[in-house]
Structure formats: structure tokens, C-alpha cells
């Protein structure tokens, strides 16, 4: 079977679909993937043929991430030497009636430990570990991913921290600016419901080669707002609301760190900070602490935990 060439480190499964001479966007790709379809069974065919089917039958532009071979060249299950070998793996698909197209596509990719990501103008096929980190499902930390090198971790950071943007804005509405940024980078940027008329505020700003999360912070600062990052979503909200959300996340992370360090073995929390003298503190209680109080509280908390530990 003749394999398609690898160009610019990406394997293009099909030419760019441009029925309207403009090509796809993240929105049109999402709409296609949400469409209900009926598919006849496919039995043990190469992955490449399955992807060709999705591409040609359903007008999808699919690109395979070359990191798939880099992550799997060390042997073990799913190991492949290159993208072509990855595409030669056999997959099957049962007859499916009136299911979403994305369901069928992911069913196929599950068989080769892969997932798909919707980008700004195409669908990217990536290794499952890469998808989990680029979407924020797993924290992109080498400690959390012993099978992935620190160098590789840096390459699979969420797009909110990895995408670079160029901005030359002059009196453009905040909502339009953020919508355009989300569309052009394939990321998620959400405006909070508590910012009143600020979506209409006009933005004037120039930025070059700036990480997306930093660019959004600079934009938000111009109108007195703040940004909270959660997984692969940037929420633009009031500074007060941002502090509440950040404090809550810090409290949850503190409890998680205590558990992972072994200081709280077997303790069941409820999302607040664990109180060794009673029940876990409710989130609304700990959110009343300012930064200085919180640091002191955490130091006291650790001391109380040690003091209440059974003597050996």
C-alpha cells in the first residue's frame, strides 16, 4: 500500500476540505462531529483506511501528530517506529445507527490508544497521553507522567499556555477580541456572567509572539478584569470572583499535596482544607482568609496534623 508522505512533521490524511473556498473552522468541525450518522461495519482494516473513510465520506481534515511515534518508539504495547507504522495498525468498527460522528471516530481511535482534538481548522489525531495533558485532564507535570520526559511534557502543555498569538488591536470590542482568539488558536475562552457591559469595552493593544494565557491576561487588565485558568479553559471574570476561584483551587491543591506527601493517609476530604481536629472545613469558610492568613493557617494545619499523629 502506498503511504502518504510526511510533510513538515505532519501527516495529512486528506487535502484541506474547502467546499466554500474558506475551509473549516473549529465551529464547523464541531458541527460535523455532532451530526448523527449510520455507518456500516469495518473489519480489521488499517487505521489509514479508516481515517480515509471519515475524511472522504464526512468531509473531515485529519492530521496525525508526529509525537505519536516519538512517544511510542520505546517498545511495549502500541509501540510504533513512525507515523506510517501507526497508520498500519488494524482497527474495526461495528455497524452503528444514528450515532454522533465523534462517537464513531473515537471508537476507532480507542483501539490505537489515541484521541482527537479539534483545532482551529482541522482535527488532530494525538496520543492519549498528549490529549490528556493538552486538554488539562492531567496536570502536565513530569512527576505526574513518569513515562514522559520533561522535554516532551513541555511540548504537550495545554494550548492555553503554548499557543503564541500576534495582536494588533485598535478599538475592538472585548467580546469580539476573545472570540477571535479562541477561534484562531482552537482554545476555550469564556467571559464570566458577572462582568456587566464590559464585553462591549474597546481594546487597543499590540503584542508579538505572546503565549495565549498571557495575552488574555493583558487584554483583561485593560478593562479591570482578571483571568482564571482551569484545565484548558481561560475564564475572564471580575478580580473579586477570580480571587474566590483561585483561593478555592489553592485549598483543593493543598489538600491534594498533603495526601500525596503521605501526611494525610486515608483521610477523606470534601474539597475543603482538612481540619485534624474535626471535619474538613467547608470551602466557604476557608475562602474568607486572605493570603497572609492562609499561609499562617496552612503552617498551623501541618503542625496540628503532626501533633495529632499516633506515637510510634
Q: Dump pLDDT digits (tens) for 19-73.
A: 344 678 888 899 999 999 999 999 999 999 999 999 999 999 999 998 887 766 5
The pLDDT value given to residue 163: 82
Tell me the C-alpha distance between 201 and 220, whole Å.
10
Tell me the C-alpha distance between 102 and 194, whole Å.
33
The cell numbers describing 203, all together, are 481594546
The pLDDT value given to residue 17: 32
The pTM of this model reads 0.64
Q: Which residues of 75-104 are buried (b: 16+ CB within 10 A; e: fewer)?
A: eeebebebbbebbebebebeebeeeebbeb
The pLDDT value given to residue 76: 53
The pLDDT value given to residue 14: 36
The pLDDT value given to residue 112: 93
Q: What secondary structure does DSSP assign to 155-182, as a single string? A: HT--HHHH-EEEEEEEEEEHHHHHHHHH
Packing angle of the helix pair 101-110, 26-34 (nearest 10 deg): 90
Q: Which domains does the chain have, with CATH numbers?
A: 11-157 (3.55.50.30), 160-239 (3.55.50.30), 241-308 (no CATH)
Asked if 156 contacts 163 with a C-beta cutoff of 8 angstroms, the reply is: no
The three-point CA angle 187-188-194 to 5° equals 155
The pLDDT value given to residue 70: 74
- Residue 310 gets which letter from DSSP? P
Q: Dump pLDDT digits (tens) for 229-259.
A: 888 899 999 999 999 888 888 777 777 666 6
The pLDDT value given to residue 49: 95
Asked if 13 contacts 62 with a C-beta cutoff of 8 angstroms, the reply is: yes
The pLDDT value given to residue 139: 60
Mark the ranges of the chain whose per-residue pLDDT is less than 50.
1-21, 142-146, 265-287
Asked if 34 contacts 101 with a C-beta cutoff of 8 angstroms, the reply is: yes
Name 130's Cβ contacts closer than 8 Å, sequence gap at least 6: 65, 67, 68, 71, 156
Strand partners, 286: none
> Long-range contacts for 225-230 (Cβ within 8 Å, ≥24 apart)?
225/195, 225/198, 229/160, 229/161, 230/136
Amino acid at each position: 500500500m502506498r503511504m502518504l508522505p510526511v510533510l513538515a512533521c505532519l501527516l495529512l490524511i486528506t487535502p484541506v476540505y474547502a467546499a466554500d473556498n474558506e475551509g473549516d473552522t473549529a465551529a464547523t468541525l464541531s458541527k460535523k462531529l455532532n451530526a448523527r450518522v449510520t455507518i456500516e461495519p469495518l473489519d480489521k482494516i488499517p487505521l489509514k483506511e479508516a481515517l480515509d473513510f471519515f475524511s472522504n465520506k464526512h468531509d473531515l481534515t485529519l492530521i496525525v501528530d508526529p509525537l505519536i511515534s516519538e512517544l511510542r518508539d520505546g517498545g511495549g504495547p502500541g509501540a510504533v517506529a513512525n507515523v506510517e507504522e501507526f497508520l498500519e495498525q488494524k482497527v474495526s468498527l461495528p455497524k452503528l445507527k444514528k450515532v454522533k460522528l465523534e462517537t464513531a471516530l473515537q471508537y476507532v481511535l480507542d483501539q490505537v490508544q489515541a484521541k482527537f482534538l479539534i483545532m482551529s481548522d482541522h482535527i488532530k489525531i494525538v496520543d492519549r497521553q498528549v490529549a490528556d495533558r493538552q486538554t488539562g485532564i492531567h496536570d502536565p507535570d513530569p512527576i505526574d507522567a513518569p513515562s514522559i520526559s520533561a522535554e516532551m511534557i513541555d511540548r504537550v502543555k495545554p494550548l492555553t499556555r503554548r499557543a503564541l498569538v500576534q495582536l494588533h488591536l485598535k478599538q475592538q470590542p472585548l467580546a469580539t477580541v476573545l472570540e477571535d482568539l479562541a477561534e484562531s488558536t482552537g482554545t476555550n475562552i469564556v467571559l464570566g456572567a458577572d462582568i456587566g457591559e464590559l464585553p462591549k469595552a474597546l481594546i487597543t493593544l499590540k503584542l508579538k509572539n505572546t503565549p495565549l494565557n498571557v495575552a488574555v491576561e493583558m487584554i483583561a487588565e485593560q478593562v479591570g478584569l482578571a483571568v482564571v485558568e482551569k484545565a484548558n479553559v481561560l475564564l475572564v471574570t471580575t478580580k473579586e470572583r477570580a480571587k474566590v476561584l483561585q483561593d478555592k483551587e489553592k485549598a483543593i491543591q493543598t489538600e491534594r499535596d498533603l495526601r500525596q506527601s503521605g501526611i494525610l493517609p486515608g483521610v477523606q476530604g470534601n474539597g475543603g482544607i482538612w481540619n485534624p481536629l474535626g471535619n474538613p472545613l467547608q470551602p466557604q469558610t476557608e475562602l474568607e482568609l486572605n493570603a497572609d492568613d492562609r499561609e499562617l493557617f496552612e503552617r498551623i494545619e501541618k503542625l496540628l496534623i503532626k501533633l495529632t499523629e499516633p506515637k510510634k
